[in-house]
Amino acid sequence: MFHWLEQKPFFFAVVLFLTIAFAGIIEVIPDFAKQSQPTVGTKPYTTLELAGRHVYIKDSCNACHSQLIRPFKSETDRYGMYSLSGEYAYDRPFLWGSKRTGPDLMRVGNYRTTDWHENHMMNPASVVPGTVMPAYPHMFTNIADIETAYAEAYTVKAVFGVPYDAEGMPKLGTLEEAQADAMAQAKLIAADMKNQSVKDAVANGQVPEIVALIAYLNSLK
């Protein structure tokens, strides 16, 4: 029946590809579109949290820490509720990670606090004996890049329709407004911190990387 087709290898390959691709598309796309809708309560990151996310990516935290809790009892006992696809709707890129040298951080905001992160990032071994995590003291002096974070937020809002400024969602506004909001959020975090140079920097209108990173980590819930 199909002998005529077998004699046309290129045409045959194209038809084969189209057949398999079509099957793949109708199998994958509808479910994927459904699963990737934001879950109720998932919000885009504020400017400060995005700046902290940039620090997280820059210092390759995702090389050792995953952000994906699998549905196993052993895992949900330790890290909390398993992850849903919709929770990553505003993660660009997602930071699932592929290796757990350190623990998962998907919901670290639920069980660690600002002052714990402060102690831990300055000297991890001081709170977790025997840890292999290196210290990140440079985060206490480097200044976070709020403008780039704003640029990213503005871009995803304009291009992908991320619901900034919508009702019940984080405010973005103009660059000046976003910077003011980021400073206000940074002040709240600095108030819970003990490091004097960080507190001074925030009082002077600068946001050290550690403050942005803690804002990001606290937002992971």
Partner 1 sequence: MKSMVIGGIILIVALMAGTYFVAGDAFQSDDYINSLTMLGALAIIVITVFTVLKYVNQIKNDTASGELADENWDGIGEYTNPIPSGWGLIFIGSIIWMLWYFFVGYPTNQFSQIGQYNEEVLENNAKFKAAWENPTDETLVAMGESVFLVQCAPCHGVDAEGIAGKAQDLTHRMSKEQVLDVIKNGSQGLGYPMGAMPPMMAQGADAEAIATYVAGGLKGEAPASFAACSSCHGADGKGMNGMAPNLVDYDNTLMSKVLENGKKSSIGEMPSFKGRLNETQEKALTSFLNSIKAGE
Tokens coding 48: 């400060």
80 binds partner 1 (CB under 8 A): yes
d(CA 220, CA 136): 20
Interactions with partner 1, residue window 96-155 (CB under 8 A): 110-116, 119, 126-129
Exposure string for 197-220, b = 16+ CB within 10 A, e = fewer: ebbebbeeeebbbbbbbbbbbbbb
d(CA 81, CA 70): 9
1 binds partner 1 (CB under 8 A): no
CB of 71 to partner 1, least distance (A): 4
CB of 129 to partner 1, least distance (A): 6
d(CA 95, CA 52): 13
Span from 39-47, 51-59, 74-82, 151-159 in contact with partner 1 (CB under 8 A): 74-82
Residue 106 or 149: which CB sits closer to partner 1?
Answer: 106
Contact residues for partner 1, defined by CB under 8 A: 3, 6-7, 71-73, 76-78, 80, 82, 110-116, 119, 126-129, 192
